[in-house]
Amino acid sequence: MAPDRSVAEEYLRREVIAAALLRRADETGGYVSRDELKAFMLPDGSVERLVDPGGGGIWNPSGYIATLAIVTSPDGPYPDREIEGGLLQYSYQKGPEGGKNLKLRRAMELGLPVIRFNKVGPNAYLPIYPVFVIEDNPISREFTLTVDDVLRSIPVGHELTPMERAYAARVVQQRVHQPAFRARVMLAYGGLCAVCTLKHPKLLDAAHIIEDGQPGGDPVVTNGLSLCKIHHAAYDRQFMGISPDYVVHINTDLLLETDGPMLRHGLQEMHGRALTTPTRRQDRPDPARLEQRFARFQAAN
């Protein structure tokens, strides 16, 4: 088989795996369990292992030309990090010279995308695809990655224009930070709406208590709420507030309105209801942030 055909076939295989993987993550709210990644079922009925059975960060399946997937973890032993320009640094896997790193270098040489699994909780991983390896630095023992095809064309080390810098920041926010925030919030709340307990993650949002970009608006679980689309919209538009003692409040004017069953059951009946909070105390909404947001609700009503 000609090498170029091998590369093309491997690329198509990666696309099939990634499409199924991202569809599965969408069903849960953004994450896939490690148990699933050990034996991931594809649409054709075949099973693919997507993580290293030994727990390593680089997964080079037998028969693959280049690395299929990498894992990064905030509590892992490697200093993986973001750098300017919307780029990510990924450390070499420890061990003998070369080792598993050789096939990740091969992915760079062939231009083959890899899947990046970002650990967002115990046994839970956010898949990001495609991710491209664009530089290999054997001195610092790091690879440079990008999650965007446009950024891939900009030479590493190139001084970005203000427009390019803004684009890079937006890409990382949309492809890395926002999905990770959503996955962590969905994981904490078990994939249900904190107000009405709707259990369909595809219909749920990870809502900020303090808005993104504002002081205190950090993308952390304690600044998040798992809300269905209608309750997220009501929260953002001051039709609904949540007090620091985790009680739902509905706008007084809305309570006095007469309309159809959606208003009655979806909003009016939520008034005075206790918020459903995460099981882990450290994941529960920050009362100080709720108080700040609730004051704005009260002022608007």
Q: What does the pLDDT look like over 210-227, one tens digit per residue?
A: 998 899 999 999 999 999
pLDDT category of residue 3 using cuts at 50, 70 and 90: low
CA–CA gap between residue 89 and residue 102 (Å, rounded) = 16
Give pTM, 2 decimals.
Answer: 0.90
Q: Is there a single domain that holds both residue 48 and residue 156?
A: yes
Q: What is the pLDDT of residues 266-300, one digit of tens each?
A: 999 999 999 999 999 999 999 999 999 999 999 99
CATH number at residue 102: 2.30.280
Tens of pLDDT, residues 53-97: 988 899 999 999 999 999 998 877 777 888 888 889 999 988 767
CA dihedral 145, 149, 152, 158 (to 10 degrees): -120
Shared domain for 27 and 97, answered yes or no, is yes
Residues 247 and 153 in one domain: no
Residues 142 and 55 in one domain: yes
d(CA 295, CA 301): 10
Are 141 and 230 members of one domain?
no
Same domain as 225, residue 111: no
**What is the predicted pLDDT for the residue at 125?**
97
Examine the fold and report which residue of 183, 212, 227 is the final residue of a domain before the chain moves on: 183
Last residue of a domain, one of 128, 162, 183: 183
pLDDT of residue 187: 97
Domain co-membership, 13 together with 97: yes
User: In the predicted model, is pLDDT for residue 19 greater than 70?
Assistant: yes
Peptide bond into 127 cis (omega under 30): no
pLDDT at 248: 98
Q: Are residues 114 and 247 in the same domain?
A: no
**Residue 121's beta-bridge partner residues?**
124
* Among candidate residues 183, 211, 243, the one where a domain is terminated: 183
Tally of structural domains, the chain: 2
pLDDT tens readout for residues 236-246: 999 999 999 99
Q: Which domain holds residue 248?
A: 191-300
Residues 165 and 213 in one domain: no
Query: Looking at residue 2, what is its pLDDT?
Result: 45
Residues 146 and 66 in one domain: yes
Residues 38, 148 share a domain: yes
Residues 173 and 43 in one domain: yes
CB atoms within 10 A of CB 243: 17
The pLDDT of 137-153, averaged and rounded, is 90
